[in-house]
Structure 1
């Protein structure tokens, strides 16, 4: 079942996000199986918001296991993602 993953990062910065993204997308394990789409930006309260779409919660968890050292190295604070069932995911250009 596809899922919507929302991550709110209080105090997160654009610089941290860009550093994390560069390291993740250049890793030999990227893209992870099950990854569908990604969006991120400021949350309007001085933090950062990430919204991902994955084929399953298990696929997202496999990503977290690979990416956690990257998040720690950039000083991104630990967060608890919200995972919700997606009824439909459409990706286009």
Structure 2
């Protein structure tokens, strides 16, 4: 079952997001297994947010643990919050 993931880092910046993204997905033609869509944008009231759709929560958690968290730690990034909800409907043309 697909999930929607909303990540928000109150103290993240566009540059920090981009540096992390470049480390964890160096080749945009080869996205992580299970990723359906990815969007990064400024957060309401500051910070940075990332909104993803994943094939499963297991695929999302694996990517976070194996790729995102280690890269963020190497970059000295502050923590961020993640909210996971089940997708009811989607349209990806």
Q: TM-score under structure 2 normalisation?
A: 0.87
1:89 Cα deviation from its structure 2 partner:
2.7
The whole-number CA distance in structure 2 between the counterparts of 1:46 and 1:15 is 14
Superposed counterparts of 1:24-35, under 5 Å: 24-26=24-26, 31-35=31-35
Unpaired runs of 5+ residues, structure 2, are: none
Tell me the number of residue pairs that the alignment of Structure 1 and Structure 2 aligns. 90
Q: TM-score under structure 1 normalisation?
A: 0.87
RMSD between aligned alpha carbons?
Answer: 1.5
The whole-number CA distance in structure 2 between the counterparts of 1:79 and 1:14 is 14
The whole-number CA distance in structure 1 between the counterparts of 2:73 and 2:90 is 30
Unpaired runs of 5+ residues, structure 1, are: none
Change over 3 Å in CA distance of 1:76–1:90 after alignment to 2: farther
User: Does the 8 Å CA contact 1:9/1:47 hold for their aligned counterparts?
Assistant: yes
1:83 equivalent to 2:84? Answer: yes
User: Does the 8 Å CA contact 1:16/1:75 hold for their aligned counterparts?
Assistant: no
The whole-number CA distance in structure 2 between the counterparts of 1:76 and 1:45 is 19
1:43 equivalent to 2:43? Answer: yes
1:7 Cα deviation from its structure 2 partner:
0.6
1:72 Cα deviation from its structure 2 partner:
1.1
Following TM superposition, the consecutive aligned residue runs of length 4 or more in structure 1 with deviations greater than 6 angstroms are none
